[in-house]
Structure 1
Amino acid sequence: MTHQDPTAREMLARRAGLQFLRGLTDITRNLPHPHGTSIRITATVIDSGEDLGSVDVDSTNASDLGWLASRRTPSTRTTPIPAADSKPNLHIVRGA
């Protein structure tokens, strides 16, 4: 392993983190939730500790992104993730 390998991995992590934050910013700007934001996502490069920034994401967009991310795994989730209080929740969002 050369000295450049960790540097290259850190550069790739930085680029991926910045792209992820840009994507989150775009989705919240273009598809805003009517009741505002609820989750702040912060990206940090673990090896260097560099803070790449943060973006506030509403619960609807965060939930949709989580659903899409879970579909990339080899096994698909067939049951919903239980709520923190273990009680079923139904959220109705009215659109334009």
Structure 2
Amino acid sequence: YDRDVVNEVIDPNQSDGFRRSPWFDVIGPEFIDRAFQVAREVAPTAELYINDFDTTSTAKRQFLFDLVRDLKNRGIPVDGVGIQSH
């Protein structure tokens, strides 16, 4: 099985690149780390994904790349990237 753990967390119009949400407003960007850690705890064999749209935009694509690289470098269990389109 696979799980979209976080969805649409990027906003290249924000100075820090993160889309504002209730989770972001309360916890900050660390909510992404915690979401992946909890997802791994409750579904240890699932593939865990970060998902977003409009990744053909250079700024958004670069931020997503940098974010996933940072998460992986810090040992956050991201297994893949989902690209959505309509």
* TM-score, length-scaled by structure 2: 0.33
Q: Which has the higher strand share?
A: 2
* TM-score, length-scaled by structure 1: 0.31
The structure showing larger relative contact order (alpha-carbon pairs under 8 Å, at least 6 residues apart) is 2
